[in-house]
Amino acid sequence: MKISDQIIMCLQNLFRRKVRTLLTITGVIIGTCAIVVMISLGVGMQASQDAMLAQMGDLTIIDVNNYSGRTSTGETLKLDDAALRTIQAMDHVEVVTPFYNPSAWGAFTLVSGNGDRYQLDMYQVVGVYPEALEKLGYTLKSGNFLSSTQRDTIEILMGYYTPYDFRDTRKKRNNTVQYWMSDGEDMPDPYVDIEKDKMTLRINNTEEGGNTIDVKVRGTGILEMDSSKGYETGYGVFISVTQLKELEAKYNKLNGIKTDPNSDTGYTSVKVKVTDMKYVEEVQNAIKEMGYDTYSMEDIRKPMEEQARQTQMTLGGLGAISMLVAALSIANTMVMSIYERTREIGVMKVLGCMVSNIRSVFLMEAGTIGFLGGVVGIIFSYIISYIINVFGTGLSLGGGYYYAGGEMVKTSIIPIWLVLLSLLFSTLIGLISGFYPANRAVKISALEAIKNE
């Protein structure tokens, strides 16, 4: 029997009992809808969690710290440039940089204007590797990032609001630009344009009236404010860590401060950028093996992802119950079909049809019921998902949306993999349900089948 003949016979048999076939397909439709919609709710929940975490910080950044400064055996553990080079050499690490703060509070002051009229106390100065900021996802409001090749001139990169901290020393009150009183659109100009005006970095003396050291600096640009990356994007000053250490050494020498090199455990804070989120755990574990403390959004994301996965499995299991009922309905339909077509089966055997052909016809009928039910079920699932997203109650705002960190995320999300998997599953359920009836059909005796009325 040709495959085309088997297909024609399959369709004829299904349309011969239209109502029963329709009811059986309806069972598969309901089961498919239940599974797809239930899992889509779990996918939507996970998407909202990812959106919330993304607002909290970059999912590919690892914070490395050296709190104890000691290994498990009691040896001194340094988080220095050599350690950072080791981390940089790891697979899947895009960039590494320290976030170094000088030990002296108020050691430096920026001055500008005639007679050093405008001054800014650099309390929040951070030393970094110049090439790292752009790779870490920092963005510019204007100007350029720090130059990794600049050695002769001290370069500074300011946070969004830092230029407004310049105070006018000729005023006793309201001596800074009141930028917070603007409407946020027409920001007033600060006293100093760091990209154009001449500035000097003054290394302060702890003794009143003592000598100071002035160093010329050049402002390269201003960062966009990004609270997820830290206060530095708003109120900090970035300098090359090498140049910052040189300035700190001059400050210590000026003020007669002696440091013990043996007590130096290196940087207290380091950021590591990984090429992809899926490698964060691997890199984080490798850094922990070096003895350092680490933290990343993976520490929060992984438990949340596991919880979302369990929720999806629970919801999918509830939907699978409906599919089980549909599978029993398919099996019942095919068994009833055998009883009604016993004589037909006998005639097919007498005419010389192979047993495999008869089995194929019945399996094809069962698989078709599962496939058609899956297709229509997926269509209805999209309709239900749309209704949930448009008219659902959601979790915080009107409509079926999660409000995650300022981003709207659909409550029900049906990815393409779910569509393909559910279609395959419904077809497979049909084939499995038809397997017993098909085997029963081929075991019927031809002579007894022909005698059957």
What is the model's pLDDT at position 164?
A: 93
| Cβ–Cβ under 8 Å, residues 317 and 15 | no
* Structure tokens given for 301: 């994301």
Alpha-carbon 197 to chain mean position: 41
Length of the chain: 453
Q: Higher pLDDT residue, 257 or 302?
A: 257
What does the pLDDT look like over 255-269, one tens digit per residue?
988 877 766 778 888
Mean pLDDT to the nearest integer, 352-377: 80
Nearest in space to 385 (alpha carbons), one of 417, 409, 411, 407:
411
- Global pTM? 0.65
Rounded Cα distance, 251 and 290, in Å: 33
Rounded Cα distance, 333 and 16, in Å: 13
What is the model's pLDDT at position 86?
A: 94
| Cβ–Cβ under 8 Å, residues 220 and 145 | yes
The β-bridge partners of 407 are 404
Give DSSP secondary structure letters for 365-381. HHHHHHHHHHHHHHHHH
Rounded Cα distance, 191 and 172, in Å: 16
Average of per-residue pLDDT values in the chain: 82
What is the model's pLDDT at position 398?
A: 40
What does the pLDDT look like over 10-50, one tens digit per residue?
767 677 777 878 888 888 888 888 888 888 888 888 777 77
What does the pLDDT look like over 92-107, one tens digit per residue?
999 999 999 988 778 8
* Structure tokens given for 108: 């430096």
What does the pLDDT look like over 203-249, one tens digit per residue?
999 888 789 999 999 999 999 998 888 889 999 999 999 999 999 99
Q: In whole angstroms, how large is the CA radius of gyration of the chain?
A: 36
What is the model's pLDDT at position 286?
A: 93
What does the pLDDT look like over 400-448, one tens digit per residue?
555 444 456 788 889 999 899 889 988 888 888 877 776 766 666 655 5
At 5, the pLDDT band (50, 70, 90 cuts) reads low
At 394, the pLDDT band (50, 70, 90 cuts) reads very low
